[in-house]
């Protein structure tokens, strides 16, 4: 299940702080800050989707992520590859390297990452 843009923005705050109370969410939320009721509604939807949970401390809830950021975006990227690149990581990689205006230095760094992954998979 996917998050809406508003939910993703809220998840960014939760991922960054790992455990966070509503007051801290509001303090760390970018401007313009939404109403507390709006955030509460988003948090409830995100709980229903299985992305966040909370621990009660008196009347306060401390929210924490149930899904790691890397796991969420990995699934997101796999969906993009499936939907837009005929389920071909090679087509995606080709598009990415040609269309993102990477510098030669950045391409060299990317090559090192690829070479390292090749060596890891050969073991």
- Cα 33 to Cα 5, 11, 46, 57, 94: the distances in Å are 15, 15, 18, 24, 39
Average pLDDT for 68-84: 91
Quick one: fold of 5-65? Arc Repressor Mutant, subunit A (1.10.10)
Contact 43, 9 (CB under 8 A): no
The domains of the chain are located at: 5-65
Kindly give the residue spans of alpha helices, DSSP state H, lying in the chain: 5-17, 22-28, 36-48, 69-84, 89-99, 104-122
Share of the chain above pLDDT 90, in %: 63
85's tokens: 């690149």
Residue whose structure tokens are 């007051």: 23
Rounded to two decimals, the pTM is: 0.76
């Amino acid at each position: 299940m996917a998050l809406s843009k508003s939910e993703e923005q809220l998840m960014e705050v939760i991922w960054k702080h790992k455990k966070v109370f509503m007051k801290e969410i509001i303090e760390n939320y970018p401007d313009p800050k939404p109403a507390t009721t709006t955030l509460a509604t988003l948090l409830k939807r995100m709980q229903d989707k299985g992305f966040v949970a909370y621990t009660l401390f008196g009347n306060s809830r401390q929210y924490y992520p149930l899904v790691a950021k890397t796991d969420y975006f990995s699934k997101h990227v796999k969906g993009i590859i499936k939907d837009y690149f005929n389920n071909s990581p090679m087509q995606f990689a080709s598009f990415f390297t040609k269309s993102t205006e990477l510098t030669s230095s950045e391409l060299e760094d990317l090559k090192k990452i690829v070479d390292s992954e090749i060596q890891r998979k050969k073991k």
